[in-house]
A and B are shown apart, each in its own frame.
Chain A
Amino acid sequence: MAAAALLRRIPAARAPATAFMAARPISDSTAALTIKTSVPFTSHLVDPPSRDVTTTPAELVTFFRDMSLMRRMEIAADSLYKAKLIRGFCHLYDGQEAVAVGMEAAITRSDSIITAYRDHCTYLARGGDLVSAFSELMGREAGCSRGKGGSMHFYKKDANFYGGHGIVGAQVPLGCGLAFAQKYKKEDTATFALYGDGAANQGQLFEALNISALWKLPAILVCENNHYGMGTAEWRAAKSPDYYKRGDYVPGLKVDGMDVLAVKQACKFAKDHAVANGPIVLEMDTYRYHGHSMSDPGSTYRTRDEISGVRQERDPIERVRKLLFTHDLATAAELKDMEKEIRKQVDDAIAKAKESSMPDTSELFTNVYKKGFGVESFGPDRKELRASLP
């Protein structure tokens, strides 16, 4: 780690005095580092990828930072909801951050991601910023959907993030449609269509998977299995809880969704497979600490011991923290500083979002249709006929 010591980097938030006291800066080395995943992959109809994941110290630090930011954002959203600044439905992702971060590390912004309503962190991973996220949650004009979508409708077109969907399972055919467009345009990219263990029982998934397999579309169906479909445990909803095998004739891979490196490896594997061979199903074994949404305490159908047990044994952020310590890439103090910085970032973003105004009443009628209505039309004598209805 001598190379790391030479790369002195002083985080912006660090006060000048502490710079002198630092023993060694947080590593931003890009030297390759190979780490084994927590558990081997389980596969269906395909050879699983290797357990050895190549990463770099800088990447691990980024993982820690990104996941901590997401965690902080979700906790802050919890407080905002209780303060009645966020209304309606608010589905929080804390515990599942590794899936969003690991996926993003394996792909490019040209690949597409579509997910359901637990989308705040995926939006962030795709390059969304905190201010638009919080503004959207609070229904302000500065929100990513101009305040008109809400928690369940975050989108980012320029980053190929297609949302943000409230109806369970309906986003999977959309995702296969995105994959179709990618194949049609010969883009060599793939689409990750995420859904939960509850949505895995929707018929339209199997319909879409059938079509994707028939037409060899680069679609990757990712089941984020947090073991509870709202209040119903997976064993009460699914005869076969092996969601990665549900594709039947479509290959599948089961991944420890709390291990960001395993997620990264699996997603890279899946993308290469999908672009070459057609659809593949990934099952991410993950867990959410909050209830299904803010209206659900999350403790009536599972024990507090279970929740705290997962938090102690499998928390994705703690796993990366341990890795950073084990490989001597950062000290506890540095990571604490980073977390403080993140907390401040989130607080600042909330303050900024609170200042943003509510959308103007005229916004009620904008974006219902594109460009007003209709199309210019002309008869065979080229006489211009045009209607411009509101």
Chain B
Amino acid sequence: MTTAFSLRAAAPATAPCAGVRSTSAARVVPVSAAPAGRGRMVARAAVAAKADAPSSAVAGKSDGHEVLLFEALREALIEEMKLDPTVCVFGEDVGHYGGSYKVTKGLADMFGDLRVLDTPIAENSFTGMGVGAGMKGLRPVVEGMNMGFLLLAYNQISNNCGMLHYTSGGQFKIPVVIRGPGGVGRQLGAEHSQRLESYFQSIPGLQMVACSTPYNAKGLMKAAIRSENPVVLFEHVLLYNLKEKIPDEEYVLCLEEAEMVRPGVHVTILTYSRMRYHVMQAAKTLVNKGYDPEVIDIRSLKPFDLHTIGNSIKKTHRVLIVEECMRTGGIGASLRSAIIDNFWDYLDAPIMCLSSQDVPTPYAATLEDATVVQPAQIVAAVEQICQ
């Protein structure tokens, strides 16, 4: 695998960023500014992850330590709360109980009841309170015990969280992080298996990211807390116990960047969250069959990292999107449109999108499995695209 896709960002003419160190190995690519006012969809200047190395193996000084994904999230929270006294956590059972998925375990003892707040079951109002606190200079992390419960706070998330920076003409910033587990779990029932990415994706002013590994969970959580914009961090119920070795040193990931999971040449498979693992399982089968898929975990659901995605499409000319979202109006639907708008000339085959069925998630195990995309379907889809 070559490093052809490492691009270093051309330093923007305006504010130079502190601490920029360009390495001699990188090429500097000046990119002309796109015309203002037109909805630009391609990154003006962005850095893709190095194509050959999985992101977690970026050279660190020491061996790192093994964590489970929920522990990685907790590490990120602890680090950020220590660094910045304005970071606080709101949620149901996050304090004394330690969090329903143990993400906030021990935080109440470390930081006290004023920074780790157990809220009553009142999503609409405590999300609103998080936004209000954000307007006044705090940086709340609002946890939805299950993302689906945040539907009750939809007004606050859409109208206040997303729009206040705009309607106030830039006076207020809302640096909140809204996070929680979503996705289809193990027979949790329809109302507890919701994927809200599609509901939130049209809200202007929000950023959305989905974590999938302990490494990117910690990095994205830190980035989300540091961001001045409201960020929705989608975690997945079934991924909390994933184990991985992460660096001991501090690191922060870029919120808008996609992750190259497996470089390849035959087809670009775009996925996020839990489906990444189904895709990688399918990839094993595909490799045995002689295919070489390129797997990208898009991570950033809003905005899409069209730079990384575009480079991949220019190489492979075939795209398969695998997502857990609903078919109608899901992330895949938007991604497909974005790719068609930007990379039509590079496509040799129609874009295929595998998503969950448009049904409430059933309880029965077999039916639940049939609702989400399974590795066998991914293999079949790749074979079809690559004909």
Chain A residues within 8 Å of B, Cβ to Cβ: 112, 114, 143-150, 153, 155-157, 162-167, 170, 172-178, 180-185, 203-204, 207-208, 210-211, 214-215, 361-362, 364-371, 373-390
Contacts and interface: CB of A to CB of B under 8 A. Distances in A.
A174 B171 contact: no
A34 to B, nearest CB: 36
A167 B124 CA distance: 13
Interface of B: 9, 12, 17-23, 34, 36-37, 39-40, 43-47, 49, 55, 58-61, 86, 88, 114-115, 117, 119-120, 122, 124-138, 140, 155-156, 159-160, 164-173, 204-205, 207, 219, 223, 226-229, 247, 249-257, 303, 305, 307
B159 A369 contact: no
Given A170-B160, A387-B46, A370 B229 contact: yes
Contacts of A382: 19, 21
B9 A180 contact: no
Given A369-B205, A373-B255, A374-B254, A384 B19 contact: yes
A210 B122 contact: yes
B135 A162 contact: yes
28 contacts: A145-B169, A165-B159, A170-B155, A173-B127, A173-B132, A175-B132, A178-B133, A180-B138, A181-B133, A182-B136, A184-B86, A204-B122, A365-B39, A369-B165, A369-B229, A370-B165, A374-B207, A377-B254, A380-B58, A382-B21, A385-B254, A386-B47, A387-B9, A387-B45, A387-B256, A389-B44, A389-B256, A389-B303
A157 B156 contact: no
Of listed A365, A366, A375, residue having the most chain B CB within 10 A: A375
A153 B132 contact: no
A62 B297 CA distance: 63
A144 B49 CA distance: 42
A373 B23 contact: no
B321 to A, nearest CB: 20
A133 B131 CA distance: 25
A367 B170 contact: yes
Of listed A114, A174, A376, residue having the most chain B CB within 10 A: A174
Nearest to A364: B37
Given A379-B251, A380-B60, A387-B46, A163 B120 contact: no
Per DSSP, chain B at the interface is loop
B126 A211 contact: yes
Given A167-B155, A181-B136, A207-B122, A378 B128 contact: no
B129 A180 contact: yes
B90 to A, nearest CB: 9
B169 to A, nearest CB: 4
Nearest to B257: A387
A368 B86 CA distance: 23
The 4 closest A-B pairs by CB, nearest first: A177-B132, A173-B128, A177-B129, A207-B125
Nearest to B43: A389
A51 to B, nearest CB: 34
Nearest to B60: A380
B229 to A, nearest CB: 5
Per DSSP, chain A at the interface is loop
Contacts of A362: 36-37
B238 to A, nearest CB: 27
A41 to B, nearest CB: 28
B59 A177 contact: no
B117 A215 contact: yes
A29 B129 CA distance: 43
Given A180-B132, A370-B229, 16 more contacts: A148-B169, A149-B168, A149-B169, A153-B167, A172-B125, A176-B128, A180-B138, A181-B132, A184-B86, A211-B126, A361-B37, A370-B228, A379-B55, A379-B253, A381-B59, A386-B46
Contacts of B204: 368
A368 B43 CA distance: 17
Contacts of B255: 373-375, 377, 387
A180 B249 CA distance: 34
B122 to A, nearest CB: 4
B293 to A, nearest CB: 25
A215 B114 CA distance: 9
A177 B168 contact: no
A173 B126 contact: yes
Contacts of B18: 376
A162 B20 contact: no
Contacts of A386: 9, 17, 20, 46-47, 254
Contacts of B140: 177
Contacts of B135: 162, 174, 177-178, 181
A183 B45 CA distance: 42
Contacts of A210: 120, 122
A173 B201 CA distance: 24
A36 B172 CA distance: 40
Contact of A380 (B46, B115, B229, B247): B247
